[in-house]
Amino acid sequence: MHWSPKPQPNMDKVKQLQIEIGVPHEIACLLIQRGIQDYETAKSFFRPELSDFHDPFKMLGMKEAVDRIFRGINKGEKIMIYGDYDVDGTTAVALVYSFLKEIQSDCIYYIPDRYDEGYGISIKGIDYAKAENVSLIIALDCGIKAVDKVSYAQTLGIDFIICDHHLPGETLPEAYAILNPKQANCSYPFKDLCGCGIGFKLINALTLERGGAVDQIISYMDLVAMAIAADMVPMVGENRVLTYFGIQQIQENPRLGIRFFIKELKRKINVSDLVFVIAPRINGAGRIKHGSHAVALLLSEDPDETLSRARAIEFYNSERKELDQKITIQALDQIEKNQEEELNSTVVYQPDWHKGVLGIVASRLIETYYRPTIVFTASGEYYTGSVRSVKGFDIYQILETCREHIVQFGGHRYAAGLTIRPKEYLSFKKAFELAVAKSIKPEERIPTSSYDLEMTFDKITPKFYRIMAQMAPFGPGNLRPVFLTKDCLDAGGSKVIGADQSHLKLDVTDDSTSTLPGIGFGMANHIIKIKSRDPFQILYTVDENEFRGDKHLQLKLKDLSFSN
């Protein structure tokens, strides 16, 4: 792994900020790196407030959407809340559905089947809406490219309001209203909301129209926080404010549907818990069974029913883990047998691989072969695939260059999905490899870990940690600070731990002669050189570890290398 320093801040600005807000030099450096250069922006950063939200009516299409929803409610129309089957989609559906139910709207929700209908708006979903006498569909986290589907709905007398955050195509659907800050001519100041975030702005506007205020809908922010964390959208601006209040909500009054998953956590909830504890379970429902199970869990208010649903979803998640481990082993074996080590990309296929875990497997393969990856399986008359990319490499543009071999595709810069015809598999694989080889830069072939600052251990004090912890919630755009310390030595107590003795427990000192404990998961292979007193350097984050009531700071290693 290549270690690269982030751009170092201007020292004059650091000194000025240090004086203005009274923080250690290192904290001022971290803040300047994040664009926080004066007292006011620092105050807003450390103390998010509800007043930081933008007026939802600044979003193009919001007035039309609000008017259409209230007209539907007043006329007794039936409304369908339609969303994708991932965390962003299911939380968005739970949010808008539960809000509309509070104002006596006659509404139902619908999540498409991952295997029968695929991503986004489906004909089957529209036909179901018609059979249920629905005259308005609110689509969340999908729909921005559903031109033909929205036109079909119009022929049935069904209006669409689309709330999506994906990049629009050249032609927009003829929906009654489209809420997407990324569409042309939308002057909404914050462009990086997730689908659930746009759903929140919609209920914010509905609340304001009824004479209410944003503090009346704080209880919905837990759902938005889950979606922001799972969808990995930038943790800046409104996303940071929503996550800040959403985590507070989860901490103080978690909804029944997630209490089962967080009950073992004996500390304050953080974004990592949303990403690694809650999100895989919410996603697991759609991957293994059906996304509607996740919505039902998030909406459930009966303790017995909730416990039953949570246990079922825990089972789906366990099944998902077993599948992705099994398929990853098979995919790695396929790569090795075909001697594909020198390629610039990875494309693998097996007809019986479970469609629900393809994206996870693609990410796992990148951990071994660091290159853009597609994992395909058979799906009816087609092959369907999940695409994952490496840092800095725009996979969506690569798929654009291969579109002659593709039936359909969609997604983001780093993750996408596609469908091809079986007869196109080999020609697509060749075209994809050529396109990647032509575009990928040498530095994009090597995994890189960036660090914020080079530090000595004497700077890592309880006060330093206390202030740094207030920089949370962390996420893309405001990542947890990473530090580099050189000339480290074993202080005498370093050892290997874990049931399989694969983890490294460090007792480490540096040039400042300060000593700190550290943990390096999967790094036990370094123990012999460490105990031989070979000097080494580490990349790490700083954490607070609590054991039997005792709290102490520890280093959480990202990487370790020896000085010679």
Query: What pLDDT, on the 0 to 100 scale, is given for residue 116?
Result: 84
CATH architecture of 338-445: Roll (3.10)
User: What does the pLDDT look like over 98-133, one tens digit per residue?
Assistant: 999 998 779 999 999 988 887 789 999 999 999 999
Distance CA 15, CA 368 (A): 43
Q: Looking at this protein, which amino acid is placed at residue 132?
A: E
Distance CA 46, CA 523 (A): 35
Whether omega for the bond prior to residue 473 falls within 30 degrees of 0, making it cis, is: yes
CB distance 345 to 375 below 8 Å: no
Cα 387–Cα 393–Cα 398 angle in degrees, nearest 5: 60
First-residue to last-residue Cα distance in the chain: 16
Q: Which CATH number fits domain 449-564: 3.40.50.11540, 3.40.190.10, 2.40.50.460, 3.40.50.720?
A: 2.40.50.460
Instruction: Name which of 78, 220, 90 is nearest 142 in CA terms.
Output: 90
Q: Looking at this protein, which amino acid is placed at residue 19?
A: I
Q: Looking at this protein, which amino acid is placed at residue 526?
A: H
Instruction: Name which of 495, 563, 561, 557 is nearest 531 in CA terms.
Output: 495
> Is pLDDT above 80 for 547?
no
| Token pair for 124 | 């089957």
> Is pLDDT above 80 for 549?
no
Distance CA 389, CA 398 (A): 10
Q: What is the DSSP letter of 472?
A: P
Instruction: Name which of 53, 21, 6 is nearest 240 in CA terms.
Output: 53
Query: What pLDDT, on the 0 to 100 scale, is given for residue 408?
Result: 87
Per CATH, the number for 56-237 is: 3.90.1640.30
- Quick one: pLDDT band at residue 341, thresholds 50, 70, 90? low
Entry pTM: 0.91
| Token pair for 367 | 């951990």
Query: What pLDDT, on the 0 to 100 scale, is given for residue 263?
Result: 86
- Quick one: pLDDT band at residue 298, thresholds 50, 70, 90? very high
CB distance 522 to 502 below 8 Å: yes
CB distance 298 to 267 below 8 Å: no
Q: What is the DSSP letter of 352?
A: T
| Token pair for 261 | 């998953």
Query: What pLDDT, on the 0 to 100 scale, is given for residue 564?
Result: 63
Q: What is the mean pLDDT of residues 182-210?
A: 97
| Token pair for 466 | 């206390």
Task: For residue 447, report the phi and psi dihedrals to the nearest 5 degrees.
Answer: -60, 135
Q: What is the DSSP letter of 402?
A: T
Average pLDDT, the chain: 94
**The residue count for the chain:** 564
User: What does the pLDDT look like over 387-407, one tens digit per residue?
Assistant: 999 999 999 999 999 999 999
Distance CA 302, CA 223 (A): 18
Q: Looking at this protein, which amino acid is placed at residue 139?
A: A
Q: What is the mean pLDDT of residues 221-239?
A: 95
Q: What is the mean pLDDT of residues 481-505?
A: 94
Instruction: Name which of 164, 166, 162 is nearest 153 in CA terms.
Output: 162
As beta bridge partners, residue 416 has 387, 411
Using only C-alpha atoms, what is the Rg of the chain?
A: 25
Percent of the chain with pLDDT over 90: 85
User: What does the pLDDT look like over 72-83, one tens digit per residue?
Assistant: 999 999 999 999
Domain spans, the chain: 7-47, 56-237, 338-445, 449-564
